[in-house]
Chain A
Amino acid sequence: MMQTLSRAMRGLALSVAVLAAVALLDGAVHALLAQNPFGAPRAAEPEGGIVGWLLAKQSEFYRQMSATIRAAKSDGSAVWTLLAISFAYGIFHAAGPGHGKAVISSYLVANRETARRGIVLSFASALMQSLIAVLIVGICAWLLNATAKTMCGAEKAIEIASYALIAAFGARLVWVKGGGFIRALQLPRPALAMAGAHHHHDHGDHDRGGDHHHHAHEHHDHGHDHTHDHGHDPHHVHDEHCGHSHGPTPAELAGPGGWRRGLGAIFTVGIRPCSGAILVLVFALAQGLFWAGIAATFAMGLGTAITVAAIAVLAVSARGVAEKLSAARDGGGMLVMRGLEFAAAALVLLFGIGLLLGYVAAERVTCL
């Protein structure tokens, strides 16, 4: 009991340490922002600070869009400029709130997903965001000729739905990952458990967001030579389907269930369109160049996807590093990793709740 407790304390302490590191990083970015008096979005060169420069750039690109769409009315070649600006804007803009960076990254960390999957999820969700923006404007403005007020009502409804989805998605992750964390806590000391074993295996649950518990045994035939530790408290639920710390096998990825697993994340992130895209689309429609607006929206989405994917890959790599570091720690690593996954899952839940209650600032919908 004492052992479990002390392990719990250690796991918690480490998780807190990891979160503190993230918070520090966040603080550092803010400090960087603070040093830069970038209260000059129009200034040609805000003094210092890459972040400030990025912010200034995206405002600049965005403001160029309306002029370029106007120009495209008489000069078709301006459309290429529009696409380039939109793409660049997407890259810079995705650094801002929304666009699912937090959700996708946390999901990847919580679910031990691969970088490749992170990239796919980023592109798929950005594509869906673009599609939703085109659908909203296509249906509301183009088909129904609704007013901005109606459109903003639709945007608001989608916004609330998307926050609720993030919270629900987070709650589910917490449910699944909480189990893994608790089981990790209940495992006896690895030093004892590993006595006589060849190598230690990760006992985390194998279900990446899916409910695999009932057919867990089919995972047994991974060609691994590992030793189970059955010598502990018989009352606790022991997941027999040894979790493997490597990524999903190709078969898993290719299987229908493999991709379905990511659909939740894609949908959760992709349902909320970017306000900027909606504005550009309506403006293009008013100029009689709706198609140019659609092209710009997808170019923007592509740019967004690149930034989100880069952050997702970063998150996956950071997880990998954490895993390597903790693995060196005499078996306690599993607890750290389960704790980290649980923390990532909890972050998604908190994020969703924060958005719903208005504690977390998100990109506002355009309702004036």
Chain B
Amino acid sequence: MFGAAAEAHPHVWITAKSELIYAPDGTITGVRHAWTFDDMFSSYALQGIEAKTKGAYTREELAPLAQTNVESLKEYAYFTFARGDGKKQRFNEPVDYFLEYRDTALTLHFTLPLKTPFKAKELSLEVFDPTYFIDFQYADKEPVKLVGASADCKMQFQRPNDGSAAAQKLGEQNFLDGGAGNFGMMFANKILVECP
């Protein structure tokens, strides 16, 4: 009854691509996302926004909407959850954000700088909506890139749908915990980077 979130289902679909940004000394400084919204949500978001050329919105015309987007995302911690060697990491407010309109879909680009850039043997980054109002699906091609990372670093990417053991375990744990809070974790996309 109170586990209502467990019955939630998405209203917004995002096709995501992410880049992990490293400094030359091997510290990770932030995450750069490119999130493409489904066409229903894209037209919803574009409602009331005037374009000089019909059906073609420029970056400038979309700037106020991009501003609204990143401001609203703050409440949800940008749906981006990072851990360095098991320790939770926090992000500053997004920088370099803009919206792009192509093929009836909006893509939100933004960079999340880490509050404190860090080095970690094992970095995990999860992208998901705990309430599963938004469904995050990573792009088929080049879903995740490491930018400027040492060649020794190994990246592993787990999709929520591949039935990986980790996702299953999370799911069970989640239900054992009572369920309502972190249902969306079952739909988490998990990026693991190991650097020696």
On A, residues with C-beta under 8 Å from B are: 22-23, 26, 30-31, 33-34, 37, 39-43, 51, 55, 58-59, 62-63, 65-66, 93, 95-98, 102, 141, 145-151, 275-276, 278-280, 282-283, 285-287, 354, 359-364, 366-368
Interface membership of B4, Cβ < 8 A: yes
Please determine whether A39 and B171 come into contact, CB atoms closer than 8 angstroms.
yes
Could you say which residues of chain A place their CB within 8 Å of the CB of B167?
37, 39
Residues of B within 8 A of A287 (CB): 43
- A51 to B179 Cα, complex, angstroms: 15
A sample of 4 more A-B contacts (CB under 8 A), given A279-B11, A364-B133, is A26-B1, A283-B44, A361-B5, A367-B72
Given A30-B3, A39-B167, decide whether A66 and B38 contact each other with a Cβ distance below 8 A.
Answer: yes
Q: Of the candidates A66, A95, A141, A148, which one forms a contact with B7 in the assembled complex, judged by CB atoms under 8 Å apart?
A: A95
Instruction: Write the chain B residue with the least CB distance to A364.
Output: B133
In the assembled complex, B101 has its CB within 8 A of some CB on chain A: no
Please, how many angstroms separate the alpha-carbon atoms of A34 and B186 in the complex?
10
Contact B175 A360 (CB under 8 A): no
Q: Does B116 contact A (CB under 8 A)?
A: no
Whether A43 pairs with B44 at a CB distance below 8 angstroms is no
Size band of the B side of the interface?
Answer: 35 or more
Nearest Cβ on chain B to A21's Cβ, whole angstroms: 12
Q: Which residue of A lies closest to B129 (CB)?
A: A364
Residue of B whose beta carbon sits closest to that of A19: B1
Q: Which of B7, B47, B186 contacts A97 (CB 8 A)?
A: B7
Q: Which secondary structure dominates where chain B touches chain A?
A: helix
17 A-B contacts, Cβ less than 8 Å apart? A34-B175, A37-B171, A42-B161, A65-B40, A145-B47, A147-B48, A276-B11, A279-B44, A283-B39, A283-B40, A286-B43, A361-B5, A361-B8, A363-B11, A363-B133, A366-B41, A368-B45
Does B68 make an interface contact (CB < 8 A)?
yes
Who on chain B is nearest to A26 by CB?
B1
Taken together as a complex, chains A and B put the C-alpha atoms of A42 and B137 apart, in Å, by 10
Q: Is the CB of A148 within 8 A of B45?
A: yes
- B98 close to A (CB within 8 Å): no
Which 4 pairs, one residue from A and one from B, show the smallest C-beta to C-beta distance? Answer: A97-B4, A361-B5, A147-B48, A34-B175
Given A63-B13, A368-B12, answer yes or no on A145-B40 (Cβ-Cβ < 8 Å): no
Determine if A148 and B47 form an interchain contact, defined as CB atoms under 8 angstroms apart: yes
Q: Is B160 positioned at the interface, with any CB of A under 8 Å from its CB?
A: yes
Minimum CB–CB distance from A340 to chain B (whole Å) comes to 15
**Complex Cα–Cα for A147 and B44 (A):** 9
By a CB distance below 8 angstroms, the chain B residues around A102 are: 1
Say if the beta carbon of B135 comes within 8 Å of chain A: yes
